[in-house]
Chains A and B, each alone.
Chain A
């Protein structure tokens, strides 16, 4: 029995924030010059009372409306988010109720950022291929905009909000599937991408900088250090060559970073998917959004082999191969 990605849908909040709006707010800032480097010209921002769970519900309903599955079919919900509704209860439990999924389903949250989608696929594969479940809903939903200080213009430019819902099912199809996986973690990098507010470590330290902090140069250096090696670890684990991969879909961090990684790995541009101009970096939702777009644009077709690579906050990273049905 294979775990297979059967369907992907996503939802972006209605409000679009353009670079022109940022430029108006920061008139002495060279927004256009930076936008050309990052490849990001607009992003969607959740409304004041619109949370990651709300985006997740819409993405999941789109998936159900597509006919890929019904809520009653789902026997496990995995939700990856770093902007949950509450410290407790688990947001995946709230999703179960809001989506009308059976109370016999399992549900859990896991807290990862840009590596989260690939980790979610690994958990899904484990649950399905050990025979515990058959139909899993993996939701990656993020509203980083709520963690960002309004004056932090660079980080505001990079991140957008969004949610993706992925249906992973048990199939008797040896020609398609997910895996192998490679993983990586380096918690020494934690201070370089961090939100200190909202949890317990700094609960009594109101003078701490609490909003999202990102050390861009350190994150960039981490990525250059780690990701090429990770890609080659995966290729070795799979017993394949880079040339056998039909499409590379990396976490859509920013175009500048992705182009450097592509050059370092000597991947042809036509095999390397980058599409974040009007979406920005949507953290754990970025890879499934890119998958859906690649399918929509005809860049990823049935039977093709894609490499997915997630990397970021933690530091945490992971990569896998997916052959789509």
Chain B
């Protein structure tokens, strides 16, 4: 389970036929991704070549990072990992690594 559970990030089973509202929290299956795969998904979101983003990049310096990309990232977390961000979390992200950190231990080395 995401290390952010304590911060009330809400997890639901992505692409599952079961409604999360009918499952106790400890029964919700958790989706995980390898960090390299997750970074590739961010590459795809930003429409750049796979392997482009590594982590230290500053979001404000990326010409392709805008509010629509940020919305796409919120959707990516929701679709791929079942993580719905609580208010204010996106605002705190300054780098790609900060985005990855939002996934907690659902993104693994």
Residue positions of A touching B, CB distance < 8 A: 34, 37, 154, 186, 188-189, 215-218, 220-222, 224-225, 228-229, 232, 256, 260, 263-264, 266
Question: How distant is the Cα of A188 from the Cα of B90 in the complex, in angstroms?
Answer: 15
Question: How distant is the Cα of A215 from the Cα of B90 in the complex, in angstroms?
Answer: 10
A–B pairs, 8, beta carbons within 8 Å: A154-B68, A188-B87, A216-B68, A216-B70, A216-B71, A221-B84, A225-B85, A260-B75
B87:A217 contact, CB within 8 angstroms: no
**A88 CB to closest chain B CB, in angstroms?**
33
- Which one of A37, A154, A260, A263 contacts B67 once the chains associate, using CB atoms below 8 Å? A154
Quick one: closest A residue to B78, CB to CB? Answer: A224
Chain B residue contacts of A189, Cβ below 8 A? 87
A264:B87 contact, CB within 8 angstroms: no
- Closest 8 pairs (CB-CB, A-B): A217-B70, A216-B67, A221-B85, A217-B90, A232-B21, A224-B84, A220-B71, A220-B74
- B26 interface residue (CB < 8 Å to A): no
- B91 interface residue (CB < 8 Å to A): yes
For window 11-61 of B, CB contacts with A under 8 Å fall at 12, 17, 19, 21
Question: How distant is the Cα of A146 from the Cα of B75 in the complex, in angstroms?
Answer: 30
Q: Is the interface of B mostly helix, strand, loop or mixed?
A: helix
* Size class of the contact patch on chain B: 20 to 34
Quick one: closest A residue to B82, CB to CB? Answer: A264
Chain A residue contacts of B70, Cβ below 8 A? 216-217
**B42 CB to closest chain A CB, in angstroms?**
14
Q: Which of A216, A221, A228, A256 has the most CB of B within 10 A?
A: A221
- Which one of B17, B68, B79, B85 contacts A266 once the chains associate, using CB atoms below 8 Å? B17
Chain A residue contacts of B85, Cβ below 8 A? 221, 225
Chain B residue contacts of A263, Cβ below 8 A? 79
For window 66-108 of B, CB contacts with A under 8 Å fall at 67-68, 70-71, 73-75, 78-79, 84-91
Question: How distant is the Cα of A94 from the Cα of B35 in the complex, in angstroms?
Answer: 60
Quick one: closest B residue to A224, CB to CB? Answer: B84
Chain A residue contacts of B89, Cβ below 8 A? 221
Chain A residue contacts of B10, Cβ below 8 A? 225
Question: How distant is the Cα of A229 from the Cα of B84 in the complex, in angstroms?
Answer: 12
Chain B residue contacts of A256, Cβ below 8 A? 71, 75
- Which one of A37, A188, A225, A228 contacts B68 once the chains associate, using CB atoms below 8 Å? A37
Question: How distant is the Cα of A264 from the Cα of B11 in the complex, in angstroms?
Answer: 12
Apart from the given pairs A225-B10, A228-B21, 9 other A-B contacts in the complex at a CB distance below 8 Å: A189-B87, A216-B70, A217-B74, A217-B90, A222-B87, A224-B78, A225-B86, A229-B21, A256-B71
Chain A residue contacts of B79, Cβ below 8 A? 260, 263
Chain A residue contacts of B67, Cβ below 8 A? 154, 215-217
Quick one: closest A residue to B47, CB to CB? Answer: A33
Chain B residue contacts of A188, Cβ below 8 A? 87
- Which one of B19, B73, B78 contacts A260 once the chains associate, using CB atoms below 8 Å? B78
**A26 CB to closest chain B CB, in angstroms?**
13
A218:B84 contact, CB within 8 angstroms: no
Chain A residue contacts of B84, Cβ below 8 A? 221, 224-225
Question: How distant is the Cα of A228 from the Cα of B102 in the complex, in angstroms?
Answer: 21
Chain B residue contacts of A222, Cβ below 8 A? 87
Quick one: closest B residue to A254, CB to CB? Answer: B71
Chain B residue contacts of A260, Cβ below 8 A? 75, 78-79
A221:B87 contact, CB within 8 angstroms: yes
Question: How distant is the Cα of A135 from the Cα of B10 in the complex, in angstroms?
Answer: 43
**B45 CB to closest chain A CB, in angstroms?**
12
Chain A residue contacts of B71, Cβ below 8 A? 216-217, 220, 256
Would A220 and B68 be within 8 Å (CB), given that A188-B87, A189-B87, A266-B17 are in contact? no
Quick one: closest A residue to B91, CB to CB? Answer: A218
